[in-house]
A and B are shown apart, each in its own frame.
Chain A
Amino acid sequence: MPEPGRIDRREFFRTAAVGAGAALFSVAPASALGRGGSIAPSERIVVGCIGMGSMGMGNLGAYLGQHDTRVVAVCDVDRNRCRDAKQNVDRHYGNSDCRAYHDFRELIARSDIDVVVLSTPDHWHGVPAVMAMNAGKDIYGEKPIGHFLTEGRVMADAERRNGRIWQTGSWQRSLGNFRFACELVRNDRLGKVVRIEVGLPAGGGIGPVEFKDPPPHLDYDFWVGPSRMLPYADQRTHWNWRWQLDYGGGQMMDWIGHHGDIAHWAMDWDATGPLEVEGTGEYPTQGIWDAATTYYFVCKYAGGVEMHVANGGNRGVRGGTRWIGANGSWIWVDRGGIDAEPKSLLRETIGPDETQLYRSPGHHREFLECVKSRRSTITPAEVAHRSASVGHLGQIAMLLGRKIRWNPVTEQVIGDPTAQRMLSRPMRSPWRL
């Protein structure tokens, strides 16, 4: 039976599309009425932000800009970043009320916070997310949802079982051109889709770096957290963590939650995954960045549909997402626009009796509406997990240099214990999911 509380949005919005700019639900959040039933001083959703790097500051700005939120806390293990974020919030509100935390556990422990905005590096997604959901927080979290595949599963389960609202930073789903492209595919404008191409950025390497003591403003041990402890270098941490498999997953894992996610949306694969994955990647042998610089892997789904994921330009795969029909027609979409062959596809309209995908009023906005209405978001954790799983499986297949077979129902690798083990990574003490 379906999990109670789960929402079949697709079904609902087939007959009740809600457009951009639609009005907002305003069911009072916990802080509005006060836990325990007391009357609250305001109707604002109270927000705490963890991870104040570039994405964190962007998300902070988005939530400061909402009329019904109040950001009360920021957190980072880099004292400078934490200070800057606090100053940003205080400047916005014209006071000094924002609390700056070094340890995310203190922020999560605050009972007045409804929503946690999680913009930490990949290796710091799972632990705080699960902790926050267990504590009753709703979460806006960056993609990829989990640093390794089973972590994403744990996070999606935590969302569902705790009845929490989760929005992933896969914000392309909230843009009209992506939605239209997906609606065209969903409504068979290409006929049977036989091939999908997902073009993502290529990675880069680095030469030998200098290992040294971390700067005094950075708590490096905390920054490393559940991942393997490796010696500090300036090129290890801020921004560059993404190019190291211990902390990120390369450009591939960064972007699979965008263009791969859109591919899934169009194909209605939000609750499933490939059956086989096979590919190759170039992994640098020098320097501390070890994520694949170039890559190409193929995922085979039920019905024989192939999804080719590659760095853009690799074997002709164009950046963005392209669905190709059996008759050679295609639809391509990227942040730069939408294209199709034949061009007449772009003049198609989607009728009321066809599949209409959810029209988000804006990614951050949509999350807040769902926090109030308790309905699932456009990119809940399960969806994000399935999108990210494609990248994780591709990574494993490339690292092992062989085809792996996957059961998307049980989420187990079939007949390959080595690959199966690589679905999860042990965590450094004292951290656990």
Chain B
Amino acid sequence: MRSIRSSVWALVLLTCIAGQQTLAQSDPYDALRSFDNQNRVASEAIRAQIVAAGRDAAALARVEARLAAVLADPATTLAGKQEACRLLWPIGTERSVPALARLLAADETADMARYALERNTTPAAARALRVAAAGATGRRLVGIINTIGERRDAAAVPLLRGLVRSRFPEVHDAAVAALGKIGTPAAVAVLRSRPIANPEVAQAMLQAAERLAAAGDRRGALAVLRQLVGPPHAVTTRGAALHRLAGLEGPAAVGAALAAARSGDAYLAPVAARIAGSLAGPAATRACVQVLPALPEAVRTVMLLALADRREPAALPYALQAIRSESEALRLAGIRTAAAIGGARAVPALAEVAGGTRQPDRGVAREALAGMGGRPVEDAIIAAGRTGTPEVRAAMMAVLAERPSPAATGALVQASGGEPASVAAEATRSLGRVGGSAQLPGLFRLLVGGSSEQVREAAQSAFIAAAQRLGERDSAVGQATAAMAAAPADTKTALISVMAELGGDAALRELEAATRSGDEDVKHAAVVALADTWADARPMGTLLGIAREDPSRSLRVQALRGYLRLLAQADRSAAEEKVGKVREALAAAVRPEEKRQALGILRECRTESSIELAASLMDDPALLEEAASTVLYLAAPQRVENRELVAVRGPRATAALDRVIEKATDNNQRELARRLR
């Protein structure tokens, strides 16, 4: 009996132990100890605890304590410690510092400890880092100094004072950088004790100046910057100091900026010119425009644009002067500056450039004019479009299209009916881009009755563009259809072209009827329009009929080419059906050119009938090579735009390859056919 009781007790005990083991295994902190850098179930579970804790300090403290225990456990792997540090990064307090301090003391764990400590704002963390720095060397020391700098730990300045004297450049540079980030007067004093020509020291001083300014010590910041802004410092340091100086002093820094702008240094001068030109205020502006003409062109360009960017009107005379400069960069800067600040006063000068022949000035001026706002500017552009030279007037018509408004449209309508033709044509083209429904009838009138061929051509394009843009295709086709009967021959040709461009059922009916016209010119125009312009497959039957039966050879050829174009581009039939249509076209074809066109379509039809038809064309010596090439293309697998095309196989494909082997004169083709067979 006793032994039975013992056995039962032992069983219970074993069960409990097993249960505890299971519990232990499911505990994420235990699992974290053997983290393998891949299975993040445990660390995600701990993250979930952090998420659940929210801003509850007590709950976060429990997580932190568990993580600190993981760190303190000698059984925890390095990966586990690193992951624990990552989890401590956003939540650590003084509670985890002792464990982290131990990691700081070893090279292989110092980086991970800093990961957890750097954002830990407690004094304990700061102390741990300072203590660790005192005993660290090499890369570990550099890392700790960097963290001290990131934390802007002013209490570390005495420590850093010693470290800047290190004989190791990495330690020196890190300590200097940290002092710059700390940026207190005491830190600056240490930096001042170093050779200031050293670029690391200069950078740190620049950073410190910013810290001083942010802390309200403007005088201290200015003192540092004035020390750095002139020779013998590197031009990069001087430029940066100048930026900060201007940020603190504003217009009062213009003297220093202009001195640097006139330094002749290719790096510093443009940087300084930009700064000087950006300083607002009458005194700074006066100083800038005074020196502007004497600056080298490259530097002048930078300053001019800086003045433009802050809309300084005093720069206008210099901008207008710059427009006539020999330097392209300066001319373009002048154009842009004048546009930015000149308003209507700048329009005549810009219009002159826009109407000129010099590129890129002409394009830049047009775009600048197009973007200038305000009614006075618009009035000035319209005025220039009325009174300038024909070239300037035409340019203004193009500009008005870029700045649509009722007034602009009115000016365009007026000019489109006037003289000279070049201006009227440009105005008409612009109406095609910006005109509304109300302008369509006017454009149509110009199309059928414009004063010159130039205007009529412009009106044709404009009418089509406007109707398409406005979604008024049907009414536009209606206008064209209605005008056909009474139109003279050359106008009918234009109307047919318009209908072909616009498309639609009514247009197709009209064009197909025109292909049967007794007027040869009309008929020719209709066939050409369908063959060359029409966009869908519907007229293919008409075109094939003409290709077969029309008495005119040239029309037959034209129609056949159109038929093949639409078959290739617009016909959506299945491949087999397409091959049948090619066969019909070939029956009507007499010239090798159209047969080659047909072969091109066969290449897109991966069927046996296609390869067979291609092979049949090898009988024509003029087509032998292309036909063989088509057979080989179809008989081989292809990859086209990421699509895999399978090879055509079967007895007819084999026969086609045999025909290549038999008839081809090109050895390579024959050899390829043998391999594919």
Q: Which residue of B lies closest to A22 (CB)?
A: B364
Answer yes or no: B246 CB below 8 A from chain A CBs: yes
Answer yes or no: A239 CB below 8 A from chain B CBs: no
- Given the interface contacts A35-B266, A162-B240, A228-B115, does A285 sit within 8 Å of B39 by beta carbon? yes
Answer yes or no: B403 CB below 8 A from chain A CBs: yes
- Interface pair B278/A5, CB less than 8 Å apart: yes
- Interface pair A26/B336, CB less than 8 Å apart: no
Q: In the bound complex, what is the Cα–Cα distance between A134 and B298 (angstroms)?
A: 23
Q: In the bound complex, what is the Cα–Cα distance between A231 and B110 (angstroms)?
A: 17
Q: Which residue of B lies closest to A150 (CB)?
A: B150
Contact mask for chain B residues 31-45; partner A; CB cutoff 8 A; 1 contact, 0 none:
000000111110010
Answer yes or no: B89 CB below 8 A from chain A CBs: yes
Partner of A351, one of B143, B299, B403: B403
- Interface pair A19/B367, CB less than 8 Å apart: yes
Contact mask for chain A residues 393-433; partner B; CB cutoff 8 A; 1 contact, 0 none:
00000011110000000000001111101101111111110
Answer yes or no: A268 CB below 8 A from chain B CBs: no
- Given the interface contacts A5-B306, A426-B147, does A26 sit within 8 Å of B328 by beta carbon? yes
Q: Which residues of A contact B247 (CB under 8 A)?
A: 1, 3-4
- Interface pair B265/A37, CB less than 8 Å apart: yes
- Interface pair A290/B40, CB less than 8 Å apart: yes
- Interface pair A430/B340, CB less than 8 Å apart: no
A361 to chain B, nearest CB (A): 11
- Interface pair B239/A426, CB less than 8 Å apart: no
Answer yes or no: A16 CB below 8 A from chain B CBs: yes
Q: Which residues of A contact B263 (CB under 8 A)?
A: 37
Q: Which residues of B contact A209 (CB under 8 A)?
A: 38
B473 to chain A, nearest CB (A): 15
B601 to chain A, nearest CB (A): 30
Answer yes or no: A80 CB below 8 A from chain B CBs: no
Q: Which residues of A contact B271 (CB under 8 A)?
A: 5, 163, 374
Q: In the bound complex, what is the Cα–Cα distance between A160 and B274 (angstroms)?
A: 12
Q: In the bound complex, what is the Cα–Cα distance between A57 and B656 (angstroms)?
A: 46
Q: Which residues of A contact B239 (CB under 8 A)?
A: 136, 162-163
- Interface pair B243/A160, CB less than 8 Å apart: yes
Answer yes or no: B194 CB below 8 A from chain A CBs: no
Q: Which residue of A lies closest to B51 (CB)?
A: A401
Q: Which residue of A lies closest to B40 (CB)?
A: A285
- Given the interface contacts A5-B243, A426-B89, does A16 sit within 8 Å of B368 by beta carbon? yes
Contact mask for chain B residues 319-347; partner A; CB cutoff 8 A; 1 contact, 0 none:
00000000011001100100110000000
Answer yes or no: A161 CB below 8 A from chain B CBs: yes
- Interface pair B363/A421, CB less than 8 Å apart: no
- Interface pair A349/B404, CB less than 8 Å apart: yes
Q: In the bound complex, what is the Cα–Cα distance between A222 and B249 (angstroms)?
A: 42
B122 to chain A, nearest CB (A): 11
Q: Which residue of B lies closest to A208 (CB)?
A: B38
User: Which one of B10-18, B308-316, B543-551, B579-587 is at the interface?
Assistant: B308-316
- Interface pair B340/A15, CB less than 8 Å apart: yes
Partner of A352, one of B114, B361, B378: B378
User: Which one of A6-14, A334-342, A379-387 is at the interface?
Assistant: A6-14
Q: Which residues of B contact A29 (CB under 8 A)?
A: 266
Q: In the bound complex, what is the Cα–Cα distance between A161 and B328 (angstroms)?
A: 30
Contact mask for chain A residues 280-299; partner B; CB cutoff 8 A; 1 contact, 0 none:
00011111101000000000
Q: In the bound complex, what is the Cα–Cα distance between A48 and B118 (angstroms)?
A: 34
- Given the interface contacts A4-B279, A5-B246, A162-B240, does A16 sit within 8 Å of B336 by beta carbon? yes
- Interface pair A231/B37, CB less than 8 Å apart: yes
Partner of A16, one of B39, B306, B339: B339
Q: Which residue of A lies closest to B277 (CB)?
A: A5
Q: In the bound complex, what is the Cα–Cα distance between A229 and B253 (angstroms)?
A: 47
Q: Which residues of A contact B309 (CB under 8 A)?
A: 7-9, 11-12, 375
Answer yes or no: A17 CB below 8 A from chain B CBs: yes
B410 to chain A, nearest CB (A): 15
Q: In the bound complex, what is the Cα–Cα distance between A209 and B36 (angstroms)?
A: 11
Q: Which residues of B contact A196 (CB under 8 A)?
A: none
Q: Which residue of B lies closest to A19 (CB)?
A: B367
- Interface pair A27/B329, CB less than 8 Å apart: yes
B115 to chain A, nearest CB (A): 5
B412 to chain A, nearest CB (A): 14
Q: Which residues of A contact B360 (CB under 8 A)?
A: 22-24
Answer yes or no: A25 CB below 8 A from chain B CBs: yes
Interface residues of A in 15-71 (CB under 8 A from B): 15-19, 21-30, 32-37, 40
- Interface pair B302/A374, CB less than 8 Å apart: yes
- Interface pair B90/A418, CB less than 8 Å apart: yes
Q: Which residue of B lies closest to A371 (CB)?
A: B270
- Interface pair B174/A30, CB less than 8 Å apart: no
Q: Which residues of A contact B51 (CB under 8 A)?
A: 399-402
Answer yes or no: A172 CB below 8 A from chain B CBs: no
User: Which one of B369-377, B422-430, B634-642 is at the interface?
Assistant: B369-377
Answer yes or no: B140 CB below 8 A from chain A CBs: yes
Contact mask for chain A residues 358-393; partner B; CB cutoff 8 A; 1 contact, 0 none:
000000000000001111000000000000000000
Q: In the bound complex, what is the Cα–Cα distance between A37 and B298 (angstroms)?
A: 13
Partner of B243, one of A12, A14, A15, A163: A163
Q: Which residues of B contact A419 (CB under 8 A)?
A: 90
Q: Which residues of B contact A373 (CB under 8 A)?
A: 301-302, 305, 329, 333
Q: Which residues of A contact B110 (CB under 8 A)?
A: 429
Answer yes or no: B643 CB below 8 A from chain A CBs: no
Answer yes or no: B91 CB below 8 A from chain A CBs: yes
Q: In the bound complex, what is the Cα–Cα distance between A375 and B243 (angstroms)?
A: 15
Q: Which residue of B lies closest to A373 (CB)?
A: B305
Q: In the bound complex, what is the Cα–Cα distance between A375 and B86 (angstroms)?
A: 41
- Interface pair B403/A134, CB less than 8 Å apart: no
- Interface pair A422/B90, CB less than 8 Å apart: yes
Partner of A22, one of B55, B146, B147, B363: B363
Q: Which residues of A contact B147 (CB under 8 A)?
A: 426
Answer yes or no: B203 CB below 8 A from chain A CBs: yes
Q: In the bound complex, what is the Cα–Cα distance between A427 and B240 (angstroms)?
A: 25
Answer yes or no: B596 CB below 8 A from chain A CBs: no
B275 to chain A, nearest CB (A): 5
- Interface pair A432/B275, CB less than 8 Å apart: no
Q: Which residue of A lies closest to B378 (CB)?
A: A352
- Interface pair A17/B38, CB less than 8 Å apart: no
Q: Which residue of A lies closest to B399 (CB)?
A: A352
- Interface pair A4/B275, CB less than 8 Å apart: yes
Q: In the bound complex, what is the Cα–Cα distance between A162 and B360 (angstroms)?
A: 32
Q: Which residues of A contact B372 (CB under 8 A)?
A: 15-16, 352
Which of A2, A8, A18, A27 neighbours the largest number of chain B CB atoms within 10 Å of its CB? A27
**Residues of B in contact with A (beta carbons under 8 Å apart):** 37-41, 44, 47, 50-51, 54-55, 60, 79, 82, 86, 89-91, 110-112, 114-115, 117-119, 121, 139-140, 142-144, 146-147, 149-150, 170, 174, 177, 203, 206, 210, 235-236, 239-240, 242-244, 246-247, 250, 253, 263-267, 270-271, 273-275, 278-280, 298-299, 301-302, 305-306, 308-311, 328-329, 332-333, 336, 339-340, 359-361, 363-364, 367-368, 370-374, 377-378, 403-405, 434, 469
A sample of 18 cross-chain residue pairs with beta-carbon separation below 8 angstroms, ordered by A number, consists of: A1-B250, A7-B309, A17-B371, A21-B363, A23-B361, A23-B363, A29-B266, A30-B266, A37-B264, A136-B235, A160-B243, A161-B240, A211-B37, A286-B39, A347-B469, A421-B89, A426-B147, A427-B146
11 additional A-B pairs beyond A21-B363, A134-B236, A228-B112, beta carbons within 8 Å, are A5-B271, A8-B309, A19-B363, A19-B367, A24-B332, A35-B235, A228-B115, A349-B404, A418-B55, A422-B89, A432-B146
